[in-house]
Structure 1
């Protein structure tokens, strides 16, 4: 019994998502189609790939290189944040966080007196969410909206470019508030990396990206990648956070069930009729069910496409569940600093609230 209690209390987000999914089953009929298996498959493959990369020592190597080009903690946070911002445009926000958060946290382990490491982690997550909004394939909600509304490429980039500019302004302002202290020079030589193993993992990473970008059926390419990774090192299969994958599944189930309620449909149709209502409504909804399900839930009931686009992308700021990528960042931070979960959530919420209010004001004026 103690083990069961510990299993559910050690990960409250997992437990809460399970509870919500179970409650939703009383209001709607469960459908397997509610689950976005592409997200689950790709996330599993990426988590397994990152586990192998970390074990190989590549993250430690990159951490040492970043320390070399960053004289101060402010420069370090700026460099990793901008790297997350621009890499997420092509790699998606999930991949950027899965890849860069371990690198950043590996660096913080080498700088014990770094007192603003949580700020850096939070800015990294924010940057990945914002940067991924620039391209249609950068995050799931954009890919869905681009396809559902049959948006032209010109229209999409007109909206996303404004988001890009505002995001960079806010990020550079946040760097000014980052404490600045010198990073001691690392005397240890850079670790050596097996180039053959790097080539092998890079090839598997390419396989996974083929599935992420729909260049090859994910249900074929991801299992192949997982088998190859298992052959390479079967032990890393134990390092995958299966509860995080289950959390995603529970959220998909809950949204699918609640969307079947006629009262929910009528409420959305009634409320999401104007630019302002759609913008703020999609932000508010994202805080509760995350921005991807919010986009899927609202799109069929509104024609305010631009407001919905900005709303769900800005809506990724805010609560820890406003974007599923936020959960990934939190889970990784918790693995490195298990005793700082509460402090992280408090600072994450505070910083995100500032960004959310600022973005809401700016884009309300632009609508």
Structure 2
């Protein structure tokens, strides 16, 4: 099994993936006649768009450019408050362009290193970065997987999606930055270690040149062709980019589409959801936000899309649902796993649950 990419080998320890796999096996046993229809349950344009973005963001990550940019920011901060505001704002911005999980994979290691060399406690800062990627990524259709799915599912245009989500994302970010300023003291920050880094300029330039054309192609509904072009370029130029992407994440999404669409087709589920009154935007919004707390916001988006075509309300609900309990967004789990601190879950919920309540009310008013 050593020939498999690391992301696939790690699936053996991924509880969320194992649950999805167990559900799929159960469906295969109970409804074997549906097996030939499984490929049709997967939204392949969404998978293709996600795979292309993973390739491009992995190339940027491997280039080392983000590390250098992050260290430049750290070297120029004077107080803990300024450092926190800079890192939270930068993490939110990255999540808009490079997806929420990639933003965390860049920001959290930088944060942990900064906290070690500047003798700062890391837990609260990483918690705020988790909130930042949820607040920032809701703005764009490529910021997080649920938006990517809704964008591809309804082909609602990149600019139109951003314009629709702008009020909610802006409100969440303003609230978060204000909270950050209050939560971190203005005490002096002293860095005792010089940090240098090298950038693979070729990889960075190629990724930058491919990024906008890929978005345009995906926006026109040809994400599969865009993925093919990007993959060919990196197979020829830097093959490790292709092997290094999170193949396990792609497989997890395929299983989510299969499981949730089979689940949505069950008579008991259909009857239950029909009784929720999802034709009313307020009910649909609440269902998205609350369902995310139980099953995470990506599965919630996929499930609700089976019962409503009101993508704006679904997007509002499931993006707000990324706050609150840690399961609301896979980004929360990634942040806490990278942090690896005892007591981090408690610290996360002390900030995230009140934030969920406030942003939830703002989203309700904006609807």
What's the TM-score once normalised by structure 2's chain length?
A: 0.77
Give the match for residue 21 of structure 1.
24
1:95 aligns with 2:102: no
Unpaired stretches in structure 1, ≥5 consecutive residues = 1-5
Question: Counterparts of 1:36-47 in structure 2 under 5 Å?
Answer: 36-47=43-54
Give the match for residue 313 of structure 1.
319
- 1:101: how far off? 3.6
1:271 alignment partner, SS class: coil
Between the aligned partners of 2:241 and 2:165, the Cα distance in structure 1 is 41
1:132 aligns with 2:137: yes
Correspondence for 2:284 among 262, 278, 285: 278
* Conserved? CA contact 2:52–2:226, under 8 Å: no
Between the aligned partners of 1:286 and 1:106, the Cα distance in structure 2 is 29
* Conserved? CA contact 1:81–1:124, under 8 Å: yes
- Number of matched pairs: 352
Correspondence for 2:219 among 214, 219, 239: 214
Go from structure 1 to structure 2 and tell me whether the alpha carbon gap of 1:248 and 1:114 turns closer, same or farther (over 3 Å shift): farther
1:183 alignment partner, SS class: coil
1:355 aligns with 2:355: yes
Go from structure 1 to structure 2 and tell me whether the alpha carbon gap of 1:303 and 1:49 turns closer, same or farther (over 3 Å shift): closer
Between the aligned partners of 2:162 and 2:111, the Cα distance in structure 1 is 37
- 1:87: how far off? 4.8
Q: Which moved more, 1:118-127 or 1:186-195?
A: 186-195
2:275 alignment partner, SS class: helix
- 1:258: how far off? 0.4
* Conserved? CA contact 1:251–1:289, under 8 Å: no
Unpaired stretches in structure 2, ≥5 consecutive residues = 1-8
- 1:85: how far off? 3.0
Question: Counterparts of 1:100-119 in structure 2 under 5 Å?
Answer: 101-112=105-116, 114-119=119-124
Go from structure 1 to structure 2 and tell me whether the alpha carbon gap of 1:222 and 1:138 turns closer, same or farther (over 3 Å shift): same
Between the aligned partners of 2:307 and 2:55, the Cα distance in structure 1 is 38
1:70 aligns with 2:73: no
* Conserved? CA contact 2:155–2:221, under 8 Å: no
- 1:208: how far off? 4.0
What's the TM-score once normalised by structure 1's chain length?
A: 0.77
Deviations 1:70-89 (A, max 9, x none): 22333222123223334544
